[in-house]
């Protein structure tokens, strides 16, 4: 069944007064949410964004939606727009959510976001309870649908008298294989989400449980310590990264005590080759998060700054740059192939340029402000590794459960979601947009209608999202056991 058919067949609860839903943000994943909520006749949607052009694109088929210009960090203006709403949806960068949450608590307005619960958000828990509002986090795809689909199976196992003895979950938003290749840059990755969010996720500390033991990885070593082979399906060559703190979900999922489990791991999928190349970028300083007040005349000047510092004694040459790269990477002599891969990738990104190489960049390094090397690098990646119209992205979510049945026998159960999407299409969404935007939209709808305390909200979101998201793309498997 097509997405739009499902939406049009959904009943609308009769409510005498329309509820105001305020959407903060107008970026990558907003369109499915806007289309969904605009069809609910008892809801009035307002979009507040720092990009009127983006917001206008979202509303071109929904003339009744209002647009408000807003810088979220302007707390006075933020307070004004939140005060007139019933539910606030925050799809802005995650580090700004706590500012929104504080304002929602002040005005006693509900809030929904797809992001992980940060320490700053967690500190607001008691205040939100005192204000008697719902602040719902982790209701996108990862985190979000992964939680819902995991709990559905865990609850079913328990209801049958069984026990989950191992839980391993992988999720990744990636280019579809036919859209993954970029000349000279073998990351096999493009950005359907904030580049900063993707790169900083690779800098997080991680801990998980494997083979009955606790494992810890410091953020600087996460890319180096990746899982080299994640065999979900023979059509894809995946590797994996441990995702943050898997152990924190042992109680959330009702799987405690941890010591009785063989494994508890939540991880992120990438195509093979991503982690080694990104780890090389990390060692070269491209992922540094400390602000630097240095202006760069070209992308090669930016790399020179990272390699040689602000005032090199002699003007760098291609030979001296490559020699410095080899020194910093400090790879064994037999790893010259990896050095060549890194050098070619830097050339593909125009961070290294031969004397007669033509520059194809449409953008230049920022001239003002104090940005970290990571933020500067993200500007380049957003340009070089963006999806072109008509290209496809892919969302893969995979759970594996080892189960001890009531009769003592052991079995394995898996749950797999694979969906793709198209960039620049009026008829389709990207995979990332629909798997994040639709669960957020459904949760917002239910909270606006006053049923946020119903425990079955989560299963309802899973069931409805599944109808809208789970279909079998061409030549791709879909298995749900």
Closest CA to 281 of 265, 260, 303, 263: 303
pTM of the entire predicted model: 0.86
Averaged pLDDT of the chain: 88
Handedness of CA 182, 183, 188, 189 (dihedral sign): negative
pLDDT classification of 8: cutoffs 50, 70, 90: very low
Whether 108 contacts 132, CB under 8 Å: yes
Q: Which domains does the chain have, with CATH numbers?
A: 3-136 (3.40.50.720), 145-278+388-469 (3.30.360.10), 292-370 (no CATH)
Q: What are 183-196's pLDDT values in tens digits?
A: 999 999 998 767 88
Q: What is the pLDDT of residues 326-382, one digit of tens each?
A: 999 998 877 789 999 999 999 999 999 876 555 555 688 887 668 899 999 999 999
User: What's the pLDDT tens digit per position in 211-241?
Assistant: 999 999 999 999 999 999 999 988 899 999 9
The catalytic residues are 142
Q: How sure is the predictor about 460, in pLDDT bands with cuts at 50, 70 and 90?
A: low
Quickly list DSSP for 56-76.
Answer: HHHTTT-TT-EEEE--TT-HH
DSSP symbols for 122-172: HTTHHHHHHTT--EE---BBTTBHHHHHHHHHHHHHHHTT-EEEEEEEEEE
């Amino acid at each position: 069944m097509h997405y739009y058919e499902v939406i049009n067949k959904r009943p609308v609860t009769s409510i005498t007064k329309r509820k105001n839903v305020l959407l903060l943000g107008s970026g990558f994943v907003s369109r499915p949410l806007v289309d969904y909520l605009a069809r609910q006749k008892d809801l009035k949607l307002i979009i507040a964004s720092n990009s009127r052009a983006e917001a206008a694109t979202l509303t071109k088929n929904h003339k009744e939606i209002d647009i408000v210009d807003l810088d979220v960090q302007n707390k006075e203006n933020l307070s004004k727009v939140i005060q007139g709403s019933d539910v606030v949806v925050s799809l802005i960068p995650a580090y700004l959510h706590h500012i929104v949450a504080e304002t929602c608590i002040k005005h006693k307005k509900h809030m929904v976001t797809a992001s992980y619960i940060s320490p700053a958000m967690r500190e607001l828990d008691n205040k939100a309870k005192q204000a008697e509002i719902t602040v719902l986090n982790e209701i996108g795809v990862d985190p979000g649908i992964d939680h819902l689909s995991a709990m559905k199976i865990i609850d079913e196992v328990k209801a049958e008298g069984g026990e989950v003895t191992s839980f391993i979950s992988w999720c990744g938003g990636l280019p579809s294989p036919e859209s993954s290749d970029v000349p000279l840059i073998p990351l096999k990755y493009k950005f359907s989400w904030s580049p900063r969010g993707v790169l900083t996720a690779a800098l997080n500390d991680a801990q998980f449980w494997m083979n009955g033991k606790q494992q810890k990885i410091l953020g600087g070593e996460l890319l180096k310590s990746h899982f080299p082979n994640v065999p979900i399906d023979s059509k894809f060559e995946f590797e994996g990264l441990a995702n943050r703190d898997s152990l924190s979900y042992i109680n959330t999922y009702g799987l405690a005590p941890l010591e009785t489990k063989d494994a508890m791991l939540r991880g992120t999928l990438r195509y093979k080759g991503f982690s080694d190349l990104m780890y090389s970028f990390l060692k070269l300083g491209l992922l540094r998060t400390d602000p630097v007040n240095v202006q760069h005349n070209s992308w090669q000047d930016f790399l020179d700054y990272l390699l040689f510092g602000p005032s090199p004694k002699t003007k760098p040459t291609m030979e001296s740059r490559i020699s410095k790269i080899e020194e910093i990477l400090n790879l064994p002599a037999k790893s010259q192939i990896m050095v060549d891969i890194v050098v070619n990738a830097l050339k593909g990104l125009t961070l290294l340029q031969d004397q007669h190489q033509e520059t194809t960049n449409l953008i230049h390094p920022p001239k003002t402000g104090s940005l970290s090397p990571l933020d500067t690098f993200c500007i380049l990646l957003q340009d070089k590794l963006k999806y072109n119209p008509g290209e496809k992205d892919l969302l893969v979510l995979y759970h594996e459960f080892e189960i001890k049945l009531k009769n003592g026998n052991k079995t394995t159960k898996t749950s797999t979601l694979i969906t793709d999407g198209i960039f620049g299409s009026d008829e389709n969404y990207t995979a990332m947009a629909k798997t994040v935007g639709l669960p957020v939209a459904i949760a917002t709808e239910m909270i606006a209608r006053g049923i946020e305390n119903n425990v079955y909200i989560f299963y309802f979101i899973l069931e409805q999202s599944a109808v809208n998201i789970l279909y079998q793309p061409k030549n791709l498997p879909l298995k749900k056991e």
